[in-house]
Structure 1
Amino acid sequence: MLLRQRQVATLVAISLATGVPIILLAHTAAAPYTQLASSTLACVAAVLCSLAARRAIGLARGGWGLIAAGLASWGLGNFYWSYNELIAHAEVLFPSWADLGYLLFPVLAAAGLFLISGWTTVGSRLTVLLDGLIAGCALFAIAWAVTLRSVWEAGADSAFAFVVSLAYPVSDIVLVTMAVLIAARTRRGGRGVGLLLIIGLAGLATSDTMFALDTSAGTYYTGQPTDAGFFLCFAAFGAAGWAAARQPMVFDETGVMNRLQIMLPYVPFGLAAAVAVGQVPAGVTSDAAVAVPMLAGLVLILLRQLSTLLHNSALTRRLRHQAYHDPLTGLGNRALFNERLDQALSSGRPAAIVYLDLDDFKMINDSLGHDAGDIVLRTVGDRLAACSTAEDTVARLGGDEFAVLTGQVDGLEAQAERLLYALREPFEVGSRMVRVSASVGIAVAAGPEGTRPEDLRKNVDLAMYAAKGQGKNTYAMFELSMRQGFDREMMWRAELGQALADRSLHLAYQPIVGLADHRVVGVEALARWDHPGLGPVAPEVFIPVAERAALIGELGMFMLRRACAEFAAWPGARDAYLSVNVSPLQMLDPEFTAMVIATLAEAGLRPQQLVLEVTENALADESEVIGTLAQLRATGVRIAIDDFGTGYASLRYLHLFPADIVKIDRTYVQDIARDPAAVRIVGTLWQLFGAIGLTAVAEGIEDPAQAAMLLELGCPFGQGFLYGYPAPLGSLTSLVVDPVSV
């Protein structure tokens, strides 16, 4: 949860308000007792910072713990001072045990701020050290001109007392520097904690400075107005601890310095230079206490510039590595692979690509989870690297795709075999043993005349898909016929898309008849495509193209709408039904049922007049389509299982699948008049279909002997060339057809 600006402003206002009572109570009899309030406030702030420590993680936990210890130390020291002054009425010596408690706070707080900051790398630690030293030198020079010179000139009763007097403003310089460095690194939206720390330390520095001046002059008294800075400090630290417990500070880890970080050390140094120059007109000459820190600051600035150059160089190398390597496997990525491929082909050196796509990797992610999938990908990457030479470029192109760019164009088949063998070795993922396989494509650059990178990538992609088509877990070398097949596929896709746009496809209809009386009981609509340049294109060619090109939805709905419209205008529509083929891919569309009903309504047909034919292969994964088919049957549309006996479905699907008609494939019909085994199979099927309430239709009837045998076995309906070839619906002028002589 982000700390909103209004919340930060409220916390700042509360912190500032805590100093108001001490200002109002100054010069009153109650002024000394304000020490008890500041001690209590310091202890409360310690508790809140302890809460931040409990919620923090890593080094930040120890950092907030040190700050809490420093606040408690200050509070205990101040309680000791208050006891002597208010209860024992004893003179509090300077320095005393109270000063030990006071001075432990800046030491512990500085260490805590360093741990909170998150500077973990050597480069970041060096940068912050130099920034801190530069700012510290500048602030010391300013403090000398404003405060420390007066303390130095006033002296003290002892050397130890003098050192303690100086320790207050010097330690505050360190604290303020640390707080500013932290605030510069915090991300936008999380800078409220840093702001509160800076405000608190500014109040502490102000009060400590005035305490040092008044102590050296012998004018300090408890509860003077300048003690308000202590209240401000502890209230702000308590608010920072409370805020950090709700929202931990988040720092920039990109390594890229923002504008504030770049300018940070130069601002106080420039201010110190301005103060030193500004004292010249007043007759104050700069002494060694100013000159030495300023000279040291200049040297440190030069070192910082050198450190920045080295840091930027290392950052550039790291960013380049990240830009060219896969973060999961450590292999090269697509950018590196393409760059190396361009270099190899432009130089004319021999080059080949071995391209791997893991088989069924989605199943691993779905069953074992993505963490397990990451382990698999890292293992595959390690094995590919182990099977390759140092001169090869091994890359993960994305997902479960890997590639090896090699200059060894001989023995590529053996290399592919080694890769496949290495991948098949089982390995442990959690508590499971996992085996993986891959489909591998291989393509070689076409000689010294050169091959374009995009062509070589396309070739190896085609080879990989050829390996997939061979059953996976194998490899295939690119052949020119693959490119020709790809080009032909692209041509068919473009032509079919244009044909759909032009509405140049049409339908032919084949009658479905009763075998006993030859009466037409239905017509099957069949898509036909007469290409203007290539002539008739077989459905076996363009329908698979439509499915691969994601055009089957458009093609299927075009067929359905045109078939319904033409069937509604056919005189025999009242006594027959319309049968239309649909692809399983169409039924994956959640809007398919609604589109079918809308099409029937538009044509003026009843749902009972439509039969949708689904190939038997769609039954192999009934979960994907069974819901849609059930919805369609609920509306009155009937479902037919087409080409039964050629796919992957078992007999149990006949009972589970929402179907009304089973169309037995032509292969069972062709030999029925000659093969007794075929007769027994078909006869058994008819009995089975009748027992479970399915209507049987025999496909591919071509001669009267087949028709007679089917009728004898109990098959009621059939279709085939014996009763008519696919033709325009208007040519079916009679509801009774005569067998065609074939």
Structure 2
Amino acid sequence: MIRQQRQVIVLVALCLATCVPIFALAHTPAATYTQLGSSALGCVAAVFCGIAARRAGGTQRGGWALLAGGCLSWGLGNFYWSWNELVVHAEVLFPSFADYGYLLFPVLGAAGLWLISGWNSVGSRLTVLLDGMIVGCALFVVGWAVTVRSVWEAGADTPLAFVVSLAYPVSDIMLATMAVLLAARTRKGSRGIGFLLILGLAGMTTSDTWFALATSAGTYYTGQPSDGGWFVAFAACGAAGWAAMRKPMVFDETGVMSRWQIMLPYVPFSLAILVISGQTLVGARVDAPEVVPMLAGVILILLRQLTTLLHNSTLARRLQHQAYHDPLTGLGNRALFTDRLEDALDLRTPTAVVYLDLDDFKMINDSLGHDAGDIVLRTVAERLQASFPGAGDTIARLGGDEFAVLTSPDAGLPAVAERLLAGLREPLHIGARTVQISASVGIALSDDGPMRSEDLRKNVDLAMYAAKAQGKNTYALFEPSMRQGFDREMMWRADLAQALADETLYVAFQPIVGLGDHRVVGVEALARWTHPRLGPVPPDVFIPVAERAALVGDLGMLVLRQACAQFVAWPGSTEAYLSVNVSPLQMLDPDFTARVTATLAGAGLRSQQLVLEVTENALADESEVIGTLRQLRATGVRVAIDDFGTGYASLRYLHRFPADIVKIDRTYVQDIARDPAAARIVGTLWQLFGAIGLTAVAEGIEDEAQAEMLIELGCPVGQGFLFGRPGELSAIEMQPVMQTRPYATSSRLTRVVE
């Protein structure tokens, strides 16, 4: 901002400096030739304004083009005057082609400034129109006292000459009016350009005024000091065009006027009052051309005040609506919802609150973009309105992906929630993509007695969290027992955050074995937590807590660092691979790939030694998760689909998903030895995976019969309690042990190259 201010100061100084030669050469024979300089400046200003027009858009393009035409017409008219005076040595008649060129400048310049300022809708900018009329009336009164009366009284030889003589001061009044309105319209960042244009118009008005007075008195001669205003005028217009080439002007579109903008039209009107008051005090006559514009100005001021009141009233209603409504969806916002909820509770009106939180909305927003996220939010708003059409219902967007409905405690609310969830699940097409929307819904009812809005909101929050804990895409009614669950959740979150800060979580390892010879081909790192008071906490308890509390990123990186540090010290780490589980939420971090590669480099592991396991549900989200996995595979890290068969992903995703390994869930393996149908399913899966180049790993192998059946079906690799429970990495033996039966249980495990 300071740099822009300095730039404007320098430009203004240069513009003012252009009139110095006029003062220096005044009353000398060379003064006549100074007019060539103003002609050249007019043409140069036309060039810069023309370039600004080419780079501008909308109405500004036409505005700068008209201003360029005005500068050019003035320059050419002045060249005509100079040619007759300096070359032909002929007296220039009045009016002449030079006068027509001169007068085109204020006409084209005023029209250009109108377009540059964007006043293309009089109906929506009535105040601006009234301001222009007020300023015009006031400046006409001042102009009449200064120049117009003298020109009027002096008359002219012909009616045309008389009209042209009057056109000069009147056109200057028009230019001055546009300058005032331009100053009121320009925003702070573009006031430098606006100030240069106003400086140019002021210079033009000054010189034209002196020219009109001197011409009417017959005392004008070329090169007198008053001609310096024309130099300043076109230097300033050229500088404004140059500045607009670099950065277009920005104007106020908010409709909210600052104090100085409100007071600006009254400044020239006050000046007109002073002029008339001064004439009255010195005994000079006040003519009708002064009285009529002043009376018109008073009427216009009254109309302006009325318009301002109406505008402020409309603006107040608009601001009140904006204060209580969401601009994206048109629904009520948190403030409106809170007010109506408190009113209902104060009146002891039976009330129900339905609280809806979209499932995995951040994943949609991050993968498809915020525009797609906005479409999803508007669609949810429409489907909520369809589910709650009652006039007494209040539907609000509380913020982000949270919505709430204030309604009556109808016994059919669970059925309404079911219909709402079904409606949300209808596929939404966004461009070429199809988005599946789901939500977790909580429902809470007000008590019969007095109840605070904070308590009811907390109850519905707990119900919504209970719905998420049930697997999302469902609803839950508030029950008092949920308060205990909430307190327990908060305890888990706090303790887990402390454990992550202290790095007291640790890693256990389970072997991944080649089924043909008991050789260990890899190890899977598993997070473990021993609570200081409650003892060992199962992963299916603390990992969901980490995801809900946004701690899963820190947890995942802690496990990866510890696993890499221990694996690199394991004697056979150069030949086996390390498998680590990651959450899809981790891969939404744009720096996840860089963090993984940095961790591998810090531990001294090659990227080919690491396998990252992601759950099957990530397949259905062709989003940032898949993009991140592709980036990881490009570095050499391999990808495994974990728990295949438990999620909702279709087989059609497999050939597009960037994976190397598929881990079949234990539910397919546990019945394989006694259920022929299960065996046929697994055998078909092996064939399918092999056909598309994926390595299959069977999870949950617990007895010899399962292992024998898997090897007969062609499964090459397995994992389960038969080969070892999760424990310390050092407990996994390095040397193979030959046994009479390949799947006899042994406490010693072997490994070989994968």
- Please indicate the TM-score interval, normalised by the length of the shorter structure: 0.7 to 0.9
Shift of 1:22: 4.4
1:412 is matched with 413
Aligned AA for 2:187? Answer: R
State the Cα distance separating 1:178 from its structure 2 match.
Answer: 1.4
Partner SS, residue 326 of structure 1: coil
Contact 1:26–1:225 (Cα < 8 Å) also in 2? yes
Residue identity in the other structure for 2:183? A
- Structure label with greater radius of gyration: 1
TM-score normalised according to structure 2 size: 0.71
Q: Which amino acid aligns with 1:178?
A: M
Whether the aligned pair in 1 keeps the contact of 2:666 and 2:698 (CA below 8 Å) is: no
What residue number does 2:236 align with?
A: 236
Conserved 8 A contact 2:12-2:196? yes
Shift of 1:618: 9.8
Q: Where does residue 219 of structure 1 map in the other structure?
A: 219
Change (3 A) 1:66 1:685: closer
What is the TM-score of this pair, normalised by structure 1?
A: 0.72
CA distance 1:723–1:37, change in 2 (3 Å): closer
Moved more, 243-252 or 537-546: 537-546
- CA distance in structure 2 between the aligned counterparts of 1:496 and 1:358, rounded to whole angstroms: 25
Selected match of 1:584 from 582, 585, 606: 582
Cα distance in structure 1, aligned partners of 2:664 and 2:427: 45
Q: Give SS of 2:234's match.
A: helix
Q: Secondary structure at the residue paired with 1:405?
A: strand
Using a 3 Å threshold, how does the CA distance of structure 1 residues 124 and 538 change in structure 2: closer, same or farther?
closer
Once residues 136 and 694 of structure 2 are traced to their aligned partners in structure 1, the CA distance between those partners, rounded to angstroms, is 94
Indicate the residue corresponding to 2:127 in structure 1.
127
Separation of aligned partners in 1, 2:413 and 2:601: 56
Change beyond 3 A, Cα 1:346–1:717: same
Q: Secondary structure at the match of 1:443?
A: strand
Q: Using a 3 Å threshold, how does the CA distance of structure 1 residues 418 and 288 change in structure 2: closer, same or farther?
A: farther
The answer to whether the 8 Å contact 2:669/2:701 transfers is: no
Structure-2 residue corresponding to 1:102: 102
CA displacement at 1:453 relative to structure 2:
3.8
- For residue 16 of structure 1, what is the aligned residue in structure 2? 16
The CA deviation at 1:253 is 1.8
Cα distance change of structure 1 residues 711 and 179 upon mapping to structure 2, 3 Å threshold: closer
Matched residue type, 1:443: I
Instruction: Show the 5 A alignment for 1:226-265.
Output: 226-265=226-265
Q: Distance in 1 between matches of 2:367 and 2:612?
A: 34
1:443 aligned residue: 443
Structure 2: which amino acid aligns with 1:584?
V
1:2/1:189 contact within 8 Å kept: no
CA distance in 2, matches of 1:521, 1:51: 71
String of CA shifts for 1:634-678, please: whole Å, max 9, x gaps: 9xxxx999989988999x99xx9788x999959857996x78999
CA 1:663/1:111 → structure 2, altered by over 3 Å: closer, same or farther?
closer
Q: Does 2:324 align with 1:327? A: no
**Match of 2:188?**
188
Query: Is the alpha carbon distance of 1:545 and 1:332 closer, same or farther for their aligned partners in structure 2, counting shifts above 3 Å?
Result: closer
Q: 1:150 to 1:541 in 2, by over 3 A?
A: closer
Distance 1:389 1:58, change over 3 A: farther
What's the offset of the Cα at 1:182? 0.8
Is the CA contact (8 Å cut-off) linking 1:552 and 1:583 kept in structure 2? no
- 1:349 corresponds in structure 2 to 349
Which residue identity is paired with 1:212? A
Question: How far is 1:275 from its partner?
Answer: 5.0
CA distance in 2, matches of 1:489, 1:293: 77
Cα 1:612/1:230, change in 2 over 3 Å: closer
Contact 1:18 1:232 in 2 (8 A): yes
Alpha carbons of structure 1 residues 120 and 363: separation in structure 2 relative to 1, 3 Å? farther
Aligned to 2:740: none
Deviation at 1:186, TM superposition (A): 1.7
How far has the Cα of 1:226 moved from its partner? 2.1
Change (3 A) 1:507 1:574: same
Provide the residue aligned with 1:54 in structure 2: 54
Match in the other structure for 2:494: 494
1:336-735 mapped onto 2 (5 Å cutoff): 336-356=336-356, 371=371, 374-375=374-375, 377-382=377-382, 384-385=384-385, 388-407=389-408, 409-413=410-414, 415-416=416-417, 419=420, 437-439=437-439, 441-449=441-449, 451-460=451-460, 475-480=474-479, 484-498=484-498, 537-551=537-551, 582-585=580-583, 591=595, 668=669
> Counterparts of 2:714 and 2:155 in 1: how far apart (Å)?
125
Shift of 1:596: 7.7
Note closer, same or farther for the CA distance 1:598–1:120 as it changes in structure 2 (3 Å cut).
same
| 1:465, distance to aligned residue in structure 2 (A) | 6.1
The residue number in structure 1 matching 2:622 is none
1:187–1:708 CA distance, 2 compared to 1 (3 A)? closer
Q: 1:436 to 1:48 in 2, by over 3 A?
A: same
Task: Kindly provide the amino acid, as one letter, of the partner of residue 239 in structure 1.
Answer: A
**1:68 paired residue number:** 68
Alignment check: 8 A CA contact 1:276 1:286 kept:
no
Matched pairs, number: 721
Cα distance in 1 for partners of 2:429, 2:718 equals 57
- Does the C-alpha gap of structure 1 residues 182 and 386 become closer, same or farther in structure 2, counting only changes over 3 Å? farther
| Aligned amino acid, residue 489 of structure 1 | E
CA contact (8 A) 1:351 1:407 kept: yes
Equivalent in the alignment of 2:750: none
Q: How many Å separate the matches in 1 of 2:600 and 2:54?
A: 63
Q: What are the Cα deviations for residues 206-249 of structure 1, in whole angstroms up to 9, with x where unaligned?
A: 22211222122222233433223233323332333333333321
Letter in 1 for 2:184: A
SS at match of 2:406: strand
Counterpart of 2:70 in 1: which secondary structure?
Answer: helix
The answer to which of 257-266 and 296-305 deviates more is: 296-305
Deviation at 1:285, TM superposition (A): 3.8
Residues 1:268 and 2:268 aligned together: yes
Deviation, 1:89, is 6.2
Note the alpha carbon deviations across 1:614-648, whole angstroms, 9 max, x for none.
Answer: 688699789867987998999xxxx9999899889
The change in CA–CA distance for 1:422 and 1:213 in structure 2 (over 3 A counts) is: same
Distance 1:641 1:95 in 2: 90
Letter in 2 for 1:51: I
Check the 8 A contact 2:134/2:297 in 1, yes or no.
yes
Unaligned runs of 5+ in 2: 620-624, 738-743, 748-754
Query: Does the CA-based 8 Å contact 1:20-1:228 persist in structure 2?
Result: yes
Q: Assess, with a 3 A threshold, how the Cα gap between structure 1 residues 91 and 452 changes in structure 2: closer, same or farther.
A: same
- Give the Cα separation in 1 of the matches to 2:306 and 2:149: 34
2:114 is matched with: 114
Closer, same or farther: CA 497–578 of 1 in aligned 2, 3 Å: farther
1:482-533 superposed Cα distances (whole Å, 9 cap, x missing partner): 5554443233333444566678878999999999999999999987766676
One-letter code of the match for 1:230?
A: W
Distance apart, 1:384 and its partner CA: 4.3
| Equivalent position amino acid for 1:242 in 2 | W
Contact residue 199 and residue 236 of structure 1 kept, 8 A: yes
CA distance in 2, matches of 1:422, 1:518: 52
Q: Structure 1's 73 and 467: CA in aligned 2 closer, same or farther, altered over 3 A?
A: same
Identity %: 63
Per mean C-alpha deviation after superposition, the further-off stretch among 555-564 and 479-488 is: 555-564
Letter in 1 for 2:343: Q
Bigger Cα displacement from structure 2, 613-622 vs 318-327:
613-622
- Provide the rounded CA distance (Å) in 1 between the counterparts of 2:626 and 2:364: 22
**How far is the alpha carbon of 1:175 from its aligned partner?**
1.0
Q: From the superposition, tell whether residues 89 and 322 of structure 1 become closer, same or farther in structure 2 (CA, over 3 Å).
A: same
Contact 1:150 1:213 in 2 (8 A): yes
Matches of 1:168 and 1:519 in 2, distance apart?
102
State the distance in 2 between where 1:392 and 1:234 align.
Answer: 64
Q: Is the 8 A contact 2:669 2:698 kept in 1?
A: no
Q: Secondary structure at the match of 1:256?
A: coil
- Secondary structure of 1:189's counterpart equals helix
Distance 1:524 1:96 in 2: 96
Shift of 1:450: 5.2
Structure 1 counterpart of 2:477, which letter? F
Counterpart Cα distance in 2 of 1:104 and 1:163: 14
5+ long unaligned stretches in structure 1: none
